[in-house]
Amino acid sequence: MPRASPESSPLPGRLARSYAEHGARSCSVLLAVSGGADSTALLVGTARVREALELRVEVATVDHGLRTEAAEEVTSVVGLAERLGLTCHVRRLALSPGAGLEARAREARYATLEVLRQERGLDFVATGHTLDDQAETLLMRLSRGTALRGARAIHARADTLLRPLLTCSREDVLAFLATEEVGFVVDPMNADPTYFRTRVRKDVLPALNRAAGFSTVEHLATFARLASEDEALLEGLADGAWARLVLTGGGLDAVGLRALEPPLWRRVLARLLGLAGARVDHATLERAREVIARGGVMPLSDGFLLKATGGRVRCVAPGGESPPAPLVLAGPGAQGDFGAWRFRVAAEGLPPPGVLALVLKEGTAWPLTVRSRMQGDRVRTRAGHRKVQDVMVDARVPSEERDARPVVVDARGVPLWLPGVLPRFVEPGVASHEVASRHSLWAFPPLTSERKTPPL
Ligand SMILES: Nc1ncnc2c1ncn2[C@@H]1O[C@H](COP(=O)(O)OP(=O)(O)OP(=O)(O)O)[C@@H](O)[C@H]1O
């Protein structure tokens, strides 16, 4: 096989630069080769540069068990690898035809390659994605309504996955293979117009190039690379905002969230939904923004709920909100959390602003327990003993929040206090000197981000 000099084809030089740029020098790589033009060029090109880069190279080819010609393709990949002096591993899958075949095949292939990489103790898996794949992916995503995140398109490196051909066009690939006089297989699926990608490749990109009067592929790929850099910067800022806004007991500080610029606002909220397992799309984020601005509850897809209540924004999974665990306070000095609330039994001193306090009477039956409401709970009010449930209704506590509201009971289980719900029960009329000089129970409400570091 004739050797390509860097002058006859730019591909080996670009490939070498790409490996080096992504930290793949003096290391080991498993090349994923289907036998198509791109991955064949990856194989031959890498074989050309492996010595210079001190790479240990092995090859893998996967037969998905879907086409009869696949057996022949596997044989040709094994043969080419052998001629280049490389070990080739063959993996056979048994996929069944049917819905989502393309995605299932891709997922199974990547999983198989990753297992093999680990078994062989190799550093990277490398695939043959090109500049053209990048341009097609970007156009497909833009046409379906992507944000900047999706415009990053194909990553040149993602953890142990490398795409070293991403700076080479399909034209470079074909020219290189012609110079090397290496044949390749043509997957009929790549010409099947039922796939959107095929139509973008065969119709849209050529039409765009004709209209522009030049090849747009490189410009589109450059945009994807710049989008990737910009997105990384914004994600870093979103990390900082997230750390500032996340509240003890879960959820985000609503006031802080509303104050963020839209690019951060969207990223932080998308993270909240994503972490809970809810689906995130642009329309959902926009609707959520309105709900958060005025407060309330918004149903999301698949039974998830977005709750913007009590100064806190949360995403709740279907049937997911269980009442917080009870908190037992043994005596003066005891402290702890009940869900998003924090409690402390203070021996003396005034509570900080915004913190509620209950003056504890002599003879209080210790320990106190902070727990969710229970059936039959009654609490003493000025109007006599009333059901906790009714008190919460009168105080307009939303029904979905009632289990998360603390009920403080004494050792006999008698409700003493519903902080924030029944403030008139004890708080008014309690002179500050009385709070300052006697044992009192302080309740830190979960309202603001300051709540994360209460001045205990
Ligand atoms: N049968 C296969 N065996 C080994 N590697 C493969 C196989 N098919 C594809 N690959 C690897 O994946 C790369 C992309 O191939 P292709 O564009 O056909 O995949 P895809 O299904 O579109 O998925 P994706 O582009 O997300 O990887 C190839 O260049 C090659 O490195």
Q: Tell me: the pLDDT tens digits for 213-252?
A: 999 999 999 999 999 999 999 999 999 999 999 887 678 9
Give me the sheet containing 161-162, strands edge to edge: 87-92, 56-63, 28-32, 124-126, 161-162, 157-158
**425 pLDDT exceeds 70?**
no
Q: Which of 90, 107, 129 to mutate to test the pocket of ligand 1 (most atoms within 8 A of CB)?
A: 129
C-alpha torsion sign, points 362, 366, 369, 373? negative
* Atom 19, ligand 1: residue with shortest CA distance: 106
Q: What pLDDT is recorded for position 38? A: 98
Cβ proximity of 103 and 92 under 8 Å:
no
Q: Which residues line ligand 1 (CB under 6 A)?
A: 32-34, 38-39, 60-62, 106, 109, 127-129
pLDDT score of 56 more than 90:
yes
Please say if the pLDDT value at position 201 is more than 60.
yes
SS3 of the chain: CCCCCCCCCCHHHHHHHHHHHCCCCCCEEEEECCCCHHHHHHHHHHHHHHHHHCCEEEEEEEECCCCCCHHHHHHHHHHHHHHCCCEEEEEECCCCCCCCHHHHHHHHHHHHHHHHHHHHCCCEEECCCCHHHHHHHHHHHHHHCCCHHHHCCCCCEECCEECHHHHCCHHHHHHHHHHHCCCCCCCHHHHCCCCHHHHHHHHHHHHHHHHHCCCCHHHHHHHHHHHHHHHHHHHHHHHHHHHHHECCCCCEEHHHHHHCCHHHHHHHHHHHHHHHCCCCCHHHHHHHHHHHHHCEEEECHHHCEEEEECCEEEEECCCCCCCCCCEEECCCCCEEEECCEEEEEECCCCCCCCCEEEECCCCCCCCEEEECCCCCCEEEECCEEEEHHHHHHHCCCCHHHHHHCCEEECCCCCEEECCCCCHHHCCCCCCHHHHHHCCEEEEECCCCHHHHCCCC
Q: How far is the CA of 127 from the centre of ligand 1 (A)?
A: 7
Given ligand 1 and candidates 34, 110, 165, which is best to mutate, with the most ligand atoms within 8 Å of its CB?
A: 34
> What residue owns the CA closest to ligand 1's atom 7?
34
Question: Could you tell me the distance, in angstroms and rounded to a whole number, from the CA of residue 346 to the centre of ligand 1?
Answer: 65
Residue 56 and residue 294: Cα distance in Å, rounded?
59
Assess contact for 305 and 316: CB atoms under 8 A: yes
- CA 17/CA 126 separation, integer angstroms: 14
pLDDT for the residue numbered 436: 62
Q: Can you give the pLDDT at residue 429?
A: 40
Amino acid 4: pLDDT: 42
Mean pLDDT confidence for 9-36: 95
CB 84 within 8 A of CB 44: yes
Whole-number Å distance between alpha carbons of 379 and 389: 10
Determine the residue type at 433. Answer: H
Inform me whether the pLDDT recorded for 116 exceeds 90. yes
From the CA atom positions of the chain, what is the Rg in Å? 32
Which tokens sit at 378? 């009654």
Task: State the pLDDT confidence band at 451, using cuts at 50, 70 and 90.
Answer: very low
Scan for tokens 């994360």, then name that residue: 452
Task: Please tell me the predicted confidence (pLDDT) of residue 437.
Answer: 65
**Is 34 annotated in some ligand binding site?**
yes
- Which of 115-129, 286-300, 420-434 has the weakest average pLDDT? 420-434
The predicted pLDDT at position 449 comes to: 36
Ligand 1 centroid from CA 8, angstroms: 27
Least confident window among 37-41, 86-90, 126-130, 288-292: 288-292
- The yes-or-no verdict on residue 152 having pLDDT over 60 is yes
Work out the average pLDDT over 25-33: 96
ipTM score assigned to the predicted complex = 0.94
- Which of 169-173, 276-280, 343-347 is most confident? 169-173
> 130 phi and psi, to 5 degrees?
-115, 175
Ligand 1 center from residue 82 Cα (angstroms): 21
- The residue nearest atom 26 of ligand 1, judged by CA position, is 106
Q: What percent of the chain has pLDDT over 70?
A: 91
Q: What domains can be seen in the chain, in order of their start residue?
A: 11-220 (3.40.50.620), 246-316 (3.30.465), 327-452 (no CATH)
pLDDT of residue 21: 94
Which pLDDT value is given to residue 375? 82
